[in-house]
Chains A and B, each alone.
Chain A
Amino acid sequence: MTRKQRRLILIGSSLGVLAIAAALVLSALRDSIVFFNSPTDIVEKKPAVGTRMRVGGLVKPGTLQRGDNLSIRFDVTDGNKDVAVRYQGIVPDLFREGQGVVAEGKLDGGGIFVADTVLAKHDEKYMPREVVDALKKQGRWQEGEANMSKPK
């Protein structure tokens, strides 16, 4: 084999692997990414039932109900619209009424969001960024609110 042929084999196989990787990435991007929606988005755009998505906002005070077998229901609000969320399992340490939350799951036929994952913030400083943005859109968020703890 000449140097040229060897180089062709090398370049050919590199391109082959890259092509496979590109195909994998593109198909995975189509099938496995999850979009984020605010409650207003969900109420107004009415996404298809059964599509995986995330919804984020504040847990609306007075809506948290605990049922049997660790099931809970609560409303997520961005100050404009609310979405009812159902979840079964253990919620994070800082999950409580009035706090920021992001839930991942699907909408069911009755307009209830069935979550299989609930994420809350890690400490009192941090707010999930999607929640901040959703609240900002509704004008319910003042810049610097998250940094109230800065020394004065």
Chain B
Amino acid sequence: MIPELGHYALVLALALGLIQAVVPVVGARLRDTAMMNLASSTATMQFVFVAASFAALTYCYVTSDFSVANVYENSHSLMPLVYKYTSVWGNHEGSMLLWVLILAMFGAAVALFGNNLPVSLKALVLAVQSWIACAFYLFILMTSNPFLRLPQAPAEGRDLNPILQDIGLAIHPPLLYLGYVGFSMAFSFAIAALIEGRIDAAWARWVRPWTLAAWMFLTVGIAMGSYWAYYELGWGGFWFWDPVENASLMPWLAGTALLHSAVVMEKRNALKIWTLLLAILAFSLSLIGTFLVRSGVLTSVHTFASDPARGVFILMILVFFIGGGLTLFAWRGPMLKQGGLFAPVSREGALVFNNLFLTTACLTVFVGTLYPLALEALTDEKISVGAPFFNLTFAPLFIPLLFAMPFGPMLAWKRGDVLGVAQRLMAAFGAGLVAVMVTFVVMGMSSALAPLGIGLALFVMVGALVDLAERTSLFRAPLSTVRSRATGLPRSAWGTAIAHFGIAVTLFGIVCQTWASERIVALKPSQIVSLADYDLTFDGMVQHSGPNFRELAAKFTVRSGGVPIGTMEPSKRSFASRNSTTTEAALMTRGVSQLYLSLGDTNDDGSIAIRLYHKPMVLLIWIGALVMMLGGALSLSDRRLRIGAPKPALKASAAILEAAE
């Protein structure tokens, strides 16, 4: 009964969605407030029905109802409860349901909290949001229904893919989807603005918090996925330039560009058309990411062609929204009024520079990700484009961007003074240079580029601090002035500096991997392996059993300078239900560095193969992402964004009226 209710709730959500897709648009045309306001009610109810549908599927998973095909294929009655919850979205159908749940949630959020939006804009935004929602409801109902029943309920499920039975991967998709789907808000606002033919600084102020929130989730989602790949896949790499990863990186790059161009639009009323285009592109790339991962086109271009129902459906969604969005843009975009003027060297100019490099970098990732697919589809030639391609294209574009980063926030609007800023950044230059020299002396000449990378990271870090110091007159004014200036500083200024600092922290961590070291050896019990000041003694094998797996672990005692500092137990888990094995690496964290130990095969002579890495400063890669998110959160809490654009003006005019009376 419950699965049927879930199915039914989804159909009802579709029906509401269809109403919401049409009525508010007609209402906006006829200036009929009642019709426009209908969107708020339907958006809220859509969320209620989709949530009910999602709850129904969750219920099927938690109660291990194997009569539902989706549950049978992806769950097991012995699986720990937390994975019963997370396996709801650990499969294609369920993850699409999560996608629409988040979409409906954003729609409801606009309906409930968007009271300061002009009525017609709100109605149009919700209508566009509903077009997207309807497309995905139809996709789920027609090609990926999670509520299909089996004629006879099997006694036991086939278990979730063991590599997905991990808490890191369990929370990765919701975060990523919050990011992807969050960009749908920017898209809907852009389309609504194009339909209305009107866009102003206030528009940017409404779009920015949604974009910022989506960007924060995407940042953490990507970092989470990267950390999962690092410890679960057993190779110790943090980024593989895999198409699935690139699919999430592209919207992030476009979204980051959008965040910055929206600032120009909000402050200076310039770059309007470009901001609209970026809003459309950011969501288009989110859709492409969903397509790449969900259509099966990556697994095989040929499978995609032979079982096309899903792929072609998503492709149609892509063509409709991307093509439609861009066509509307080409038609209505030129009608928008041009905004304020600025000199090439100015805050606006710096933000344009940022946008230019971010979008170009995004383009290179796009080419590298889709070129192999296109080539295979056209010529049947199979190639792989891997890390070397991206290191040669993405990195050279990111270095100037990072170098320019400290300059941007310190340049004045309209017309800036690069030399003046460079003078004020002296401390940052100094820190960078010292870092380069110290790295050369300590680490030797083994790599010429890495010390420069460390220098760049330090330059950006100190640059962000200098910006804050300048804004608070630190070292120049008495402490009380500094304190009052610091509290008076808008939170978005703190957010900018902290997010930029976070990028540099990540960069620092990445560059440090140049000095990572590794040993691959076969060991017998009581033998010792040494790496970077650490000695590991292999004590022997131990057996454990988990709820739905058996585990064979190797016990190691770790010593540093002869003193025992702990044990590490890398293991292999075998899952009988899927007849498969996973490798669980053991990690030992020392400060922000890690020892990483993963297990290979057991040989006939009783020795085991191990892979041991020392990863200096590796945690900084993900800590940097958290710092970026913190910066985003501070910026989001800025009073200006919370209150929205028109309210102060209303209050001010009310105050004037009162004063006049």
Interface residues of A in 15-44 (CB under 8 A from B): 17-18, 20-21, 24-25, 27-29, 31-36
| A1, A9, A70, most chain B CB atoms within 10 A | A70
User: Within the assembled complex, what's the spacing in Å between the Cα atoms of A136 and B389?
Assistant: 29
A140 within 8 A of B: no
Closest residue of chain A to B342, judged by CB? A6
Query: Which residues of B from 373 to 409 have beta carbons under 8 Å from A?
Result: 381-386, 388-389, 392-393, 396-397
A10 at the interface (CB under 8 A from B): yes
* Pairwise interchain contact A24-B356, C-beta atoms closer than 8 A: no
Task: Kindly supply a per-residue 1/0 record for chain B positions 519-548, scoring 1 wherever the CB is within 8 Å of any chain A CB and 0 otherwise.
Answer: 011100000000000000000000000000
Residue of B nearest to A88 (CB): B520
- Whether A25 pairs with B364 at a CB distance below 8 angstroms is yes
Instruction: Kindly list chain A residues whose C-beta atoms are within 8 Å of the C-beta of B357.
Output: 17
Interface residues of B in 43-84 (CB under 8 A from A): 69, 72-73
Check B371 for interface membership: any CB of A closer than 8 A. Answer: yes
Is B341 a contact partner of A14 (Cβ separation < 8 A)?
Answer: no
Q: Is the CB of B393 within 8 A of A28?
A: yes
Residues of A within 8 A of B150 (CB): 151
- B653 interface residue per 8 A CB criterion: no
Chain B residues near A54 (CB-CB < 8 A): 384
Q: A70-B609, A151-B69 are known contacts. Are A133 and B384 too (CB-CB below 8 A)? A: no
Tell me if A32 and B363 are in contact (CB < 8 A): no
**Which DSSP category, helix, strand, loop or mixed, fits chain B's interface?**
mixed
Q: In the assembly, what is the distance between CA of A14 and CA of B354, in Å? A: 11
Complex contact A151–B72 (CB within 8 A): yes
Residue of A nearest to B381 (CB): A35
**Which residue of chain B has the shortest Cβ distance to A9 in the bound complex?**
B344
Which residue of the partner chain, among A18, A24, A36, A129, contacts B392 with CB atoms under 8 Å? Answer: A24
Taken together as a complex, chains A and B put the C-alpha atoms of A70 and B611 apart, in Å, by: 11
The answer for the CA separation of A104 and B389 in the assembled complex, in Å, is: 16
Pair B356/A151 contact, Cβ less than 8 Å:
no
Shortest Cβ gap from B605 to chain A (Å): 10
The answer, yes or no, to whether B347 is at the interface (CB within 8 Å) is no
Kindly list chain B residues whose C-beta atoms are within 8 Å of the C-beta of A10. Answer: 344, 352
B363 and A6 form a contact (CB under 8 A): no
Which of B607-626 touch A at CB < 8 Å? 609-611
Write the nearest CB–CB distance from A109 to chain B, whole angstroms: 24
Inter-subunit contact B392/A90 (CB<8 Å) = no
State whether A21 and B393 are in contact (beta carbons under 8 Å apart), knowing that A10-B344, A34-B384, A133-B382 are contacts in the complex: yes
Closest to B400 in A: A17
User: Considering residues B69, B158, B389, B578, which has the most beta carbons from chain A within 10 angstroms of its beta carbon?
Assistant: B389
List chain A residues, Cβ under 8 A from B158: 149
- Is A130 among interface residues, defined by CB-CB distance under 8 A? yes
**Contact present for A70 and B385 (CB under 8 Å):** no
Is A29's CB under 8 angstroms from B397's CB? no
Q: Who on chain A is nearest to B393 by CB? A: A24
Contact between chains at A93 and B363 (CB < 8 Å): no
* Among candidates A31, A124, A129, residue contacting B580 with C-beta atoms closer than 8 Å: A124
The smallest beta-carbon distance between B381 and chain A, in angstroms, is 7
Q: Which of A14, A129, A149 contacts B356 (CB 8 A)?
A: A14
Residue A94 interfacial (CB < 8 Å): yes
CB pair A33–B520 under 8 Å, yes or no, is no
Complex Cα distance, B361 from A28, in Å, reads 14
A91 beta carbon closer than 8 Å to chain B: yes
Chain A residue at smallest Cβ distance from B599: A90
A58 at the interface (CB under 8 A from B): no
Taking CB atoms, residues of chain B closer than 8 Å to A101 are: none
User: Are A94 and B580 within 8 A (Cβ)?
Assistant: yes
CB within 8 Å for A91 and B600 given contacts A33-B384, A124-B579: yes
- Contact A93:B388 (CB < 8 A) given known A9-B344, A21-B397: no
Q: Are B364 and A24 in contact (CB under 8 A)?
A: yes
Contacting residues, chain A, for B578 (C-beta < 8 A): 123-124
- A62 to B301 CA separation, bound complex (whole angstroms): 32
A98 within 8 A of B: no
A residues sitting closer than 8 Å to B (CB atoms) are 1, 3, 6, 9-10, 13-14, 17-18, 20-21, 24-25, 27-29, 31-36, 54, 66, 69-70, 88-91, 93-94, 104, 122-124, 126, 129-130, 132-133, 136, 143, 149, 151
Instruction: Please name the 3 residue pairs, one residue from A and one from B, whose CB atoms are nearest each other, closest first.
Output: A90-B600, A32-B388, A36-B382
* CB<8 Å pairs between A and B, sample of 19: A10-B344, A10-B352, A18-B360, A24-B392, A24-B393, A24-B396, A24-B397, A25-B368, A28-B392, A29-B371, A31-B388, A33-B384, A36-B384, A70-B521, A90-B601, A93-B582, A124-B579, A126-B299, A132-B302
What residues make up the interface of B, taking CB atoms closer than 8 Å to A? 69, 72-73, 150, 154, 158, 161-163, 299-303, 306, 341-344, 352, 356-357, 360-361, 363-364, 367-368, 371-372, 381-386, 388-389, 392-393, 396-397, 520-522, 572, 578-583, 598, 600-601, 603-604, 609-611
